Amino acid sequence: MPHIADLPADPTIRRILIIKWSAMGDVVLASALFEDIARAFPDREIHLDTQPTWREMLFAEDPRFQRILAVDWPVRRNRPAQVLTWLRQVRATDYDLIIDLQCNDRSRFLLALLRLSGHRVRYLIGNSRRLPYDIAPDEPVLPVHAITRNRAALAAAGIAGLTPRPVLHVPDRHRHRVEELMRKWGLVAGNYGVFLPGCNAAGHLKRWGAARYALLAERLHHSGIARIVLIGGPDEVDECLRIAELCGPWLVNLCGQTEILDVPPLCASASFVVGNDTGAAHVAATTSTPMTIICGPTDPRRVKPLGDNVSTLQADLACVNCYRKTCSHHSCMKLLTPAHVLHHLQRAID
């Protein structure tokens, strides 16, 4: 499996396809790699293969991509039809290079099927030395963070990993919307904090807890922070309501009132962000605002958002990183008191 150190310099590479499906956090994390690829191949035609939801919410107006392919893989009603749709979409364009940032059984199967169907792509990049990839790291890469594995794959093709954090292109309408929200709620840049207190309903053990967030908010407000803003999606409405009920009118509950691409400009003007292991944290990490992520059952080495402004907190327990869906004691979160998080946050801000 070759190491092609000068692949970006090959002028015959005209069209590139990047494959990345996954959950929102993983896709946003990979946007740093999208930026590395776009910088390595200026003036080339780059297409993205992602989920329909992320096409609409994250990349519909992204100037890095001239085309976005999308098959709704989570919907499993007719797998053969989905496979055929994917093959037709990919075969419709003469790609010189396909970069597989998904690298799971499905993507390997589809790329192998593409070759078996007679459609030859000159270069296939993956993060392991397995078929059907032409280019992969010389040695097995076994870090726990996906960004490291995929950066090793890109490095094998001569694509430098230079982007320090995720990169999302935020249309002006989202920036204007955030400006209106800031005026409406009296949010002054640099004098409010953002909490991301939820996560999807299936991962409720990743939540630090409404009572702890409320107490942390109170202490931050008494220390001089004018406002605390809650951001969340449909699964997190009840959690944010519980926090709001425990706090005063200085707390601004925007849960359910923002779109994904509202999050970066809202967090960019904040003095800090505190959140759970949730997809929204990766979106917030597109900014340089100091961020603290509270981890319990998930491994911070695997889930930490990208950026040197991001730090994680986790209790010192033998049972952390268990990835369980049920727990009788939830000690990993109980041991992280609001006072502990406040101390960590103040050090991060200073």
Say yes or no: 152 and 176 in one domain: no
In a domain, 165, yes or no: no
Q: Would residue 66 count as lying in a domain?
A: yes
Count of the separate structural domains present in the chain? 2
CA distance 123 to 133: 8
Q: Based on the domain organization, do 208 and 336 belong to the same domain?
A: yes
Q: What is the pLDDT of residue 140?
A: 64
Percent residues over pLDDT 70 in the chain: 97
Same domain, 120 and 176: no
Give the tens place of pLDDT for each residue, 53-64.
999 999 999 999
At 76 the pLDDT is 83
Mean pLDDT of the chain: 94
Mean pLDDT on 13-18: 98
Whether residue 190 is contained in a domain is answered as: yes
> How many CB atoms are closer than 10 A to CB 144?
13
- How far is Cα 319 from Cα 332, in angstroms, rounded to an integer? 8
Which tens digit of pLDDT belongs to each residue from 180-222?
999 999 999 999 999 999 998 788 999 999 999 999 999 999 9
pLDDT digits (tens, 9 = 90+) for 303-323: 999 999 999 999 999 999 999
CATH number of residue 107's parent domain: 3.40.50.2000
**Full residue range of the structural domain in which residue 180 is found:** 172-349
Q: Is residue 197, in this structure, part of any structural domain at all?
A: yes
Is the domain of 263 the same as that of 343? Answer: yes
Within-domain flag for 235 = yes
pLDDT attached to residue 1: 47
Long-range contacts of 114-120 (CB under 8 A, 24+ apart): 114/87, 114/90, 117/87, 117/91, 119/87, 119/90, 119/91
**177 shares a domain with 139:** no
- Give the mean model confidence (pLDDT) for residues 229-235: 95
